[in-house]
Structure 1
Amino acid sequence: MAARTITNRKARHEYHVDETYEAGIALTGTEIKSIRAGKANLQDSYARVENGELILYNMHISPYEQGNRFNHEPKRPRKLLMHKREIMRLLGQTREKGFSLIPLKLYFKNSWVKVELALARGKKKYDKREDIAARDAKREMDRAMKNRHRE
């Protein structure tokens, strides 16, 4: 069974991504098995620095089907693993106006689960409209080029 990459598809639509970081994540056995089965969701999740630790909130990992009474809580806060120096740098940057820590991807690197965190700034409504217009224009150009090559 191939391990899957779980992505937060709305993140790039809702935020301007400035920098990305890779962090480990502290999980239980049943959480790992659910992630391997692709039963995790990063939508509406975010990270915050508290007491010198990086904590991920609102990430939903479905309970493992073969798990018994040792199964995990689906939306529990999870500790992210980074160097203390990096965490303190992120703390300083998130205190600036408008910066948030948003998870973009959850993936396996060797046998470890990693989270790609983005230092991001929220987009305004007009920014989202500009992105949609640019995407539509690119789609139209690609379609025109494709039709031109067929003739």
Structure 2
Amino acid sequence: MSSEIATNRKAGRDFHILEKYEAGLELKGTEVKSIRAGKINVSDAFARIEKNQIFLYGCDIQPWQTAGEWFNHTAKRPRRLLMHKREIMKLSAAVAIKGCTLPLLRMYWKDRRVKVEIGVGKGKTHADQRHDLKEKVELREAQREMSRFNQR
């Protein structure tokens, strides 16, 4: 089993990531089974700080099919993230800056536990996105030329 569960590629496109933090995730048993089966979508997931606790919103973990309705979970429920108090206070101060948010970057396994990586992100403008795309195309063309030159 690979350690990477899911990545949020939209976060890298839409935000300048200033800092990254690791957090644990409070899950129910059926959610863990669904994650193992790969029934997860993190493309719109973000974190929010409420009453000195941090919660993950928008993470879509589909219900486990063979579980009864009593034991199953809601797909898009808010899930609590497990972090130290001083880290939460640091994040709270970072989010207080206008334009900063906490997008989920990736979800992965670490010693049989599900961990998430959240980042402090500042939104990119449309011009920034075009500039990043232009740099990526130029880098790809340069690598192609280098490989052609080395093949000779």
TM range (shorter): over 0.9
CA contact (8 A) 2:3 2:110 kept: no
Could you tell me how far apart the structure 1 residues matched to 2:34 and 2:2 are?
A: 13
Unaligned regions of 5+ residues in structure 2, if any?
A: none
Could you tell me how far apart the structure 2 residues matched to 1:144 and 1:131 are?
A: 20
Could you tell me how far apart the structure 2 residues matched to 1:121 and 1:42 are?
A: 19
Cα 1:80–1:38, aligned 2, differ >3 Å: closer, same or farther? same
TM-score of the two chains, using structure 2 as the length reference: 0.95
Q: CA RMSD in A?
A: 1.2
CA contact (8 A) 1:4 1:37 kept: no
Would you say 1:38 and 2:38 are equivalent positions? yes
Unaligned regions of 5+ residues in structure 1, if any?
A: none
SS of 1:90's partner is helix
Counting matched residue pairs gives 151
User: Pairwise mapping of residues 1-151 of structure 1 onto structure 2 (< 5 A)?
Assistant: 1-2=1-2, 4-69=4-69, 70-151=71-152
TM-score of the two chains, using structure 1 as the length reference: 0.95
What is the CA deviation profile of residues 29-69 of structure 1, one whole-angstrom value per residue up to 9, with x for unaligned ones?
01111111221111111111001110110100011122222
The one-letter code matched in structure 1 to 2:87 is: E
The one-letter code matched in structure 1 to 2:17 is: V
Deviation at 1:105, TM superposition (A): 0.6
The one-letter code matched in structure 1 to 2:62 is: S
